[in-house]
Amino acid sequence: MISCKELVKSLNDLESKSFVKRMEIRLHLLMCKHCSAYERHLEIIRKEFSKFFNKKYSEKFEKDLEEKIIKRLEDPKDKH
């Protein structure tokens, strides 16, 4: 069985792993509650980042950020 350390390194690029290695990872996740929790948290983070970088949201975020920067440059004492 692979170690927790190996699993953490492997979760980021599962697609490039062989079928046998992916099965070893899945087996480890079934047996190790800590790594299983880590995988769930990693998936949540990935989903939130994909929402964050959604094109529509990104354009609005960029515009809002640009406005805040301009305001701060006009009045550096103002801490919005």
Instruction: Give me the domain span that covers residue 22.
Output: 4-74
70 lies in some domain: yes
Number of domains in the chain: 1
pLDDT (0 to 100) of residue 79: 54
Q: What is the pTM of this model?
A: 0.59
80 lies in some domain: no
79 lies in some domain: no
Contacts of 72 (CB under 8 A, 6+ apart): 78, 80
23 lies in some domain: yes
Lowest model confidence (mean pLDDT) among 14-18, 22-26, 69-73: 69-73
40 lies in some domain: yes
Q: Please answer whether residues 36 and 29 qualify as being in contact, where contact means their C-beta atoms are separated by less than 8 angstroms.
A: yes
59 lies in some domain: yes
